[in-house]
A and B are shown apart, each in its own frame.
Chain A
Amino acid sequence: MAEILRYDRVDIAYNGKTVITGVSFDLRPGEILGIVGESGSGKSTVIKAAMGLLGPSGQVTRGDIFYKGKDLPDLSPAEMRRLNGPELGMIFQSAGASFCPIRTVGAQLYESMTEHERVTKADFTHRACELLQKIGFEDGMRILNSYPFELSGGMQQRVGIAAAMLMNPSILFADEPTSALDVSVQKQVVEEMLLVREAFGTSIVIVTHNIGVIGAMADNVMVMKDGRMVEYGETRQVLDDPREAYTKTLMAAVPRLKR
């Protein structure tokens, strides 16, 4: 099947200093790609580039990022705004912190939706409740009427997923979505993202340092170090039978539970 997202030899620089060199990969519809690496390896920068979130000092200096035939780094901020949300969704490490603390979850989700489409409040409420139910909240209304701080960290993170999924994007970028969570909640969030793929055929790019999360959900995985791809391939092969020396070191360092 044709790919939905394609990185072609991408270089990224902050303040003229190259931090990412030669990253290439294809993402098929419905595929989950995991990007792993240690802190400072550039894994977050790679997905920020697709969303236009590199900030004023960051720039794609070479290569292309194609999404449905459009070269994302060439788009104007206005064009990018139209894509971010309805087509490209994003989940951050601390979803709680990306909400405004003094407005209800419902008000904020409604605002983000009306930014992109004409929708009545009733229609929104119906869709939001349906979605919240799908990702494991029985009483969606209660969540919509809550303030972010009234929800636990795990609930906030799941609401973050809901916020990203509300406009049914084709690609979901998730930057360390489970790193701040306890293992039991981490498992829930992973299961919910798998559910989202199942239900909507969403492609997911997940950036994490947690090899367990990658093993549980990714089809393919890319290992990064110092801004370069070290290894890229099918998840089981990379995790169980790594070819590169660095991947071997990384896998050997991960504490594994012996049951």
Chain B
Amino acid sequence: MPMQPILKVENLTKVFKSNGRPDFTAVDHIGFELMPGECLGLIGESGSGKSTVANLITRLTDMSEGRVLLDGRDITRLSGSALREAYRQMQMVFQTPTESFDPRHTLGDGIGESLRNFGACRAEVKKRVAALLTQCGLPAEFADRYPHQVSGGQCQRAAIARAIAIEPRLLICDEATSALDVTIQKEVIALLGRLREAMHLSILFICHDIALVQQFCDRVMVMYKGKIVEEGVPDEVIRNPKNDYTKRLIESIL
């Protein structure tokens, strides 16, 4: 039996409507599959619709059309506890780590939230949070720190710890390293690589840095004006881009 994709997206579309302005199609009928253990890159310039794709898949934005299947299950219209159940399998890491944590709560509170939501007791959560922080290369004491008390790189490690806390199968990283210095980016990428191996994670890696995608991803999709214009193995796409936009993009890299 062929392997079932962990994520399958069909005909995904988002049209933003606002009064007095023409409708804007941010994501235009795209479809793709992500296999278990695979790392799929999504690249494109700003405004091409990459982040909207992430927000649609994670149901943070309502889609206009299309379907999202998580491990074979249609999550397009789930809400409430059924949607929460889906988040057990799918977690997200955002671009600005400090803003992705509640400033009034400690990192430990944020990391442990999903565990508490799924019924773990206080002592258990505390132990797990300490283990998760260590796994992500931070001292266990960081559980008591607030987001503004740690650096951007440390905060992103904590955000990764939060994302993997309930052992999801799919991680969606939306420009997860873009706000970090290159030396820190390298460490965070190494961390994601280690976790990917250890937890057999599938990753949708949204990024505008093609060189980084080439390093980290098994496959890449190029997005332009809401459509996926090219898809393939990163080395292939970079050496022999077929689409005109992809060609221009690769040529512009200094």
Q: B235 touching A257 by the CB < 8 A rule?
A: no
Q: A258 touching B214 by the CB < 8 A rule?
A: yes
A39 within 8 A of B: yes
Distance from A251 Cβ to chain B, minimum over Cβ atoms (Å): 9
Distance from B73 Cβ to chain A, minimum over Cβ atoms (Å): 35
A76 within 8 A of B: no
**In the assembly, what is the distance between CA of A249 and CA of B185, in Å?**
12
A255 within 8 A of B: yes
**In the assembly, what is the distance between CA of A256 and CA of B212, in Å?**
7
Q: Which residues of chain A are near B215, meaning CB under 8 Å? A: 255
- Looking at B46, B185, B254, the one whose CB has the most chain A CB atoms below 10 A away is B254
Distance from A36 Cβ to chain B, minimum over Cβ atoms (Å): 10
Q: A183 touching B238 by the CB < 8 A rule?
A: no
A253 within 8 A of B: yes
Q: A255 touching B238 by the CB < 8 A rule?
A: no
Q: A254 touching B182 by the CB < 8 A rule?
A: yes
Contacts A215-B254, A259-B239 given; does A184 touch B249 at CB 8 Å: yes
B244 within 8 A of A: no
Q: A39 touching B181 by the CB < 8 A rule?
A: yes
**Segment at the A interface, from B108-116, B166-174, B203-211:** B203-211
A209 within 8 A of B: yes
Q: Which residues of chain A are near B183, meaning CB under 8 Å? A: 38, 249-250, 253
A111 within 8 A of B: no
Q: Which residues of chain B are near A257, meaning CB under 8 Å? A: 210-211, 214, 238, 250, 253
Q: Which residues of chain B are near A211, meaning CB under 8 Å? A: 182
Binary interface profile of B, 166-202, with partner A (CB < 8 Å = 1, else 0)? 0000000000000001111110000000000000000
Distance from B205 Cβ to chain A, minimum over Cβ atoms (Å): 13
Give the number of A-B contacts (CB < 8 Å). 65
Q: Which residue of B lies closest to A217 (CB)?
A: B254
Distance from B45 Cβ to chain A, minimum over Cβ atoms (Å): 4
Give chain B interface residues in 230-254, CB to chain A under 8 Å: 235, 238-239, 248-250, 252-254
**In the assembly, what is the distance between CA of A209 and CA of B182, in Å?**
9
Contacts A250-B182, A258-B238 given; does A182 touch B210 at CB 8 Å: no
A186 within 8 A of B: yes
Q: B182 touching A186 by the CB < 8 A rule?
A: no
Given contacts A183-B249, A250-B182, 11 further A-B contacts (CB under 8 A): A183-B210, A183-B253, A186-B254, A252-B186, A255-B211, A257-B214, A257-B250, A257-B253, A258-B214, A258-B238, A259-B250
Give chain A interface residues in 191-231, CB to chain B under 8 Å: 209-213, 215-216
Distance from B183 Cβ to chain A, minimum over Cβ atoms (Å): 4
Closest 3 CB pairs of A and B: A212-B254, A255-B211, A38-B181
Give chain A interface residues in 48-66, CB to chain B under 8 Å: none
Q: Which residue of A lies closest to B234 (CB)?
A: A258
Distance from B170 Cβ to chain A, minimum over Cβ atoms (Å): 24
A19 within 8 A of B: no
Q: Which residues of chain B are near A9, meaning CB under 8 Å? A: none
Distance from A245 Cβ to chain B, minimum over Cβ atoms (Å): 12
A190 within 8 A of B: yes
Distance from A231 Cβ to chain B, minimum over Cβ atoms (Å): 15
Q: B181 touching A187 by the CB < 8 A rule?
A: no
Q: Which residues of chain B are near A249, meaning CB under 8 Å? A: 183
Distance from A193 Cβ to chain B, minimum over Cβ atoms (Å): 12
Q: Which residues of chain A are near B212, meaning CB under 8 Å? A: 255
Q: Which residues of chain A are near B253, meaning CB under 8 Å? A: 183, 212, 257
**In the assembly, what is the distance between CA of A257 and CA of B43, in Å?**
14
**In the assembly, what is the distance between CA of A250 and CA of B183, in Å?**
6
Q: Which of B45, B182, B235, B238 contacts A38 (CB 8 A)?
A: B182
Q: B209 touching A255 by the CB < 8 A rule?
A: yes
Distance from B187 Cβ to chain A, minimum over Cβ atoms (Å): 9
**In the assembly, what is the distance between CA of A215 and CA of B182, in Å?**
16
Contacts A258-B214, A259-B238 given; does A209 touch B181 at CB 8 Å: yes
Q: Which residue of B lies closest to A212 (CB)?
A: B254
Q: Which residues of chain A are near B186, meaning CB under 8 Å? A: 252-253
Q: Which residue of B lies closest to A215 (CB)?
A: B254
Instruction: Provide 24 A-B residue pairs closer than 8 Å at the C-beta atoms, listed in order of the A residue.
Output: A38-B181, A38-B182, A183-B45, A183-B253, A183-B254, A184-B45, A187-B252, A190-B254, A211-B182, A212-B253, A250-B183, A252-B186, A253-B183, A253-B186, A255-B209, A255-B211, A255-B212, A255-B214, A255-B215, A257-B210, A257-B211, A257-B214, A257-B250, A258-B211
Q: Which residue of B lies closest to A251 (CB)?
A: B182
Q: A184 touching B238 by the CB < 8 A rule?
A: no
**In the assembly, what is the distance between CA of A38 and CA of B208, in Å?**
19
Q: Which of B182, B184, B211, B252 contacts A184 (CB 8 A)?
A: B252
Q: A258 touching B45 by the CB < 8 A rule?
A: no
Distance from B178 Cβ to chain A, minimum over Cβ atoms (Å): 11
Q: Which residues of chain B are near A254, meaning CB under 8 Å? A: 182
